[in-house]
Amino acid sequence: MVDFSKSNLLNSLPKQFFASLAARVEAEKAKGHDVINLGQGNPDQPTPPHIVAKLQEAVKNPMNHKYSPFSGYPYLKEAAAAYYQREYGVELDAESEVAILFGGKAGLVQLPQCLLNPGDTVLVPDPGYPDYLSGIMLAQVKTAIMPLLEEKQYLPDYQALPLETLNLAKLMYLNYPNNPTGAAATSNFFERTVKLAKKHTICVVHDFAYGAIGFDGNKPLSFLQTPGAKEIGIEIYTLSKTYNMAGWRVGFAVGNKSVIEAINLLQDHLYVSLFPAIQEAAAAALLDSQTCVEELIGRYQDRRDVLIDGLQSLGWNVTAPEGSFFAWLKVPKPYTSEQFSDLLLRKAHVAVAAGNGFGEFGEGYVRVGLLCSEDRLREAVKRIEALDLFTD
């Protein structure tokens, strides 16, 4: 059998950080250990019953067994537009300002190929979602890092970026509520972003994956609520987190018409849109009662409080996230991120994600998911306490 070599492009892709983490967790489980996995980003709750029921109903319709229109059915785009009008007061033209995606990740990874040429520059938050780099490598473009620092509330400091970099940059990734830090954006920050993007002709791509998940009664801001945002950027929304539909692979991009057109053009060459029954169920999720979303936010806040209060009681100086379903915890001295995460896995059988897996400026932190029950979070705190790491 001939062993065909991978292309240089594939060999240039970054290693999948989460695949490595999952392998380490499975290795500990294989030894018979009960691992509390707080390193994952996979929602643990089922999709709400009314959405599942809509899918079951839609599957029975023979018309849904045919190819969808290339860019998806108008009713799903209209549902996305209605959702943005209801939730954020943002008006969207369903036909020209909405693109249906095979999950948010697909849009995020495809965008550099849609808008950039080899050698162009992309501004990327660090720490940040690792798959931004996958799209950058596939498009053969260059990366310019925007450090997210605790003293800056994990918001990029645009004044610290070299003018030469800003002049070269053609695309910028942002993500609030933020993965991995749990930070939230302010209206003032988004206003500064619009001003900067207009000045330097940079397309802003706001990853709004955790848009529904804000704590302490604070609703996360949509980038498109900012005056002028649609002129220079788009927002990518996924149903994975809001409705526990991670495995359904459905999301949408909204905003600047030229960017939406480019996304649709690339997808015309890759797909024939989503399975129509999923499109029907997604529309129902966006338009029907949002009680399930309110309950989900409450559940995550309860879990956040159990975890953060518990860890603080040990003497670990940690800060509660403002949104998302992650907490970003500073590693105690003298450990590195990897050393500490390895210690927790081996000695406490608690899995967390090492912060350096999210970029250079993630060193010194670990990311913890709020994706298991309160009882399991309490047990995780108890196991960490037994390591006696925070006593004077």
Q: What is the pLDDT of residues 89-134, one digit of tens each?
A: 999 999 999 999 999 999 999 999 999 999 999 999 999 999 999 9
* Predicted local confidence at residue 232, as pLDDT: 97
What does the alpha-carbon distance between residue 281 and residue 199 come to, in Å, rounded to a whole number?
41
* Predicted local confidence at residue 390, as pLDDT: 83
**Whether the predicted pLDDT of 273 surpasses 90:** no
User: Which residues 6+ apart lie within 8 Å of 118 measured at CB?
Assistant: 139, 140, 141
Are 353 and 180 a contacting pair, CB within 8 Å? yes
Domains of the chain and any CATH numbers: 8-46+292-386 (3.90.1150.10), 50-287 (3.40.640.10)
Are 318 and 308 a contacting pair, CB within 8 Å? yes
* Predicted local confidence at residue 169, as pLDDT: 97
Reference 278, options 104, 101, 86; nearest CA is 101
Are 129 and 175 a contacting pair, CB within 8 Å? yes
Q: What is the mean pLDDT of the chain?
A: 94
127, containing H or E segment: none
Reference 88, options 9, 187, 164; nearest CA is 187
* Predicted local confidence at residue 324, as pLDDT: 96
Strands 365-369 and 326-330: what pairing?
A: antiparallel
* Predicted local confidence at residue 392, as pLDDT: 61
What does the alpha-carbon distance between residue 334 and residue 320 come to, in Å, rounded to a whole number?
23
Please report, for the chain, how many H helices and E strands are present, in that order. 15, 12
Total residues belonging to the chain = 392
**Whether the predicted pLDDT of 227 surpasses 90:** yes
Half-sphere exposure of 267 (CA within 13 A, CB side): 27
**Whether the predicted pLDDT of 19 surpasses 80:** no
* Predicted local confidence at residue 25, as pLDDT: 85
* Predicted local confidence at residue 132, as pLDDT: 93
**Whether the predicted pLDDT of 145 surpasses 70:** yes
Q: Is the dihedral of CA 13, 19, 24, 27 positive or negative?
A: negative
